[in-house]
């Protein structure tokens, strides 16, 4: 139960970050620089194109089907000065829109899981081998 509560706190922090990022120009600038310079390393998981996007390519999970792919954007490189901040911000906004929906779904799933754990009577006698249905 404690791990589920911790997971819910992490999800809530990610939602707070997303909402803040939508309004804070300074954080938008820093996020766009991180995406262009380092592929989103050091940012929340949904921006890390080095790890998360390679995971997207390997897994055929329907929950990630709608995720905006970094290769569909013309994100330049800060290092070779081919940056297009409008395209980078479009990627960031699309990715946080997707991530917010995904994280909210995960929150509901975790809340249901927590309720099931809380209602589970751990003092019930364990089923004996003879009473199991198989």
pLDDT tens per residue across span 110-120: 999 999 888 88
**Rounded Cα gap, residues 110 and 123, in angstroms:** 23
Identify the band that residue 62 occupies on the pLDDT scale cut at 50, 70 and 90: confident
Decide if pLDDT at 132 tops 60: no
Residue 67 lies in a domain: yes
Decide if pLDDT at 126 tops 80: no
Residue 25 lies in a domain: yes
**Rounded Cα gap, residues 129 and 32, in angstroms:** 59
Residue 127 lies in a domain: no
One DSSP character per residue, 36-98 reads HHHTTTTS-GGG-TTTHHHHHHH---GGGTTSPPGGGS----TTTT---HHHHHHHHHHHHHH
> How many Cα atoms are found within 13 Å in the side-chain-facing hemisphere of 19?
8
Residue 126 lies in a domain: no
Q: How many domains does the chain have?
A: 1
Residue 132 lies in a domain: no
Identify the band that residue 9 occupies on the pLDDT scale cut at 50, 70 and 90: very high
**Residue 5 pLDDT:** 93
Measured distance between the N- and C-terminal CA atoms of the chain, rounded to whole angstroms: 29
Residue 101 lies in a domain: yes
Decide if pLDDT at 134 tops 60: no
**Residue 84 pLDDT:** 67
Q: Which domain holds residue 37?
A: 2-119
Question: To the nearest whole percent, how much of the chain has pLDDT over 70?
Answer: 84
């Amino acid at each position: 139960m404690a791990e589920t509560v911790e997971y819910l706190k992490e999800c809530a922090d990610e939602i707070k970050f997303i909402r803040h990022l939508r309004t804070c120009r300074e954080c938008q600038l820093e996020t766009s620089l991180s995406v262009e310079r380092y592929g989103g390393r050091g940012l929340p998981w949904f921006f890390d194109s080095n790890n998360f996007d390679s995971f997207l390519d390997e897994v055929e999970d329907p929950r990630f089907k709608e995720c905006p792919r970094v290769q569909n954007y013309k994100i330049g490189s800060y290092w070779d000065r081919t940056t297009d901040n409008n395209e980078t911000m479009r990627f960031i906004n699309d990715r946080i829109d997707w991530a917010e929906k995904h994280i909210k779904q995960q929150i509901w799933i975790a809340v249901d899981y927590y309720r099931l754990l809380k209602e589970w009577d751990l003092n019930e006698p364990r089923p004996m081998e003879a009473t199991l249905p198989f």
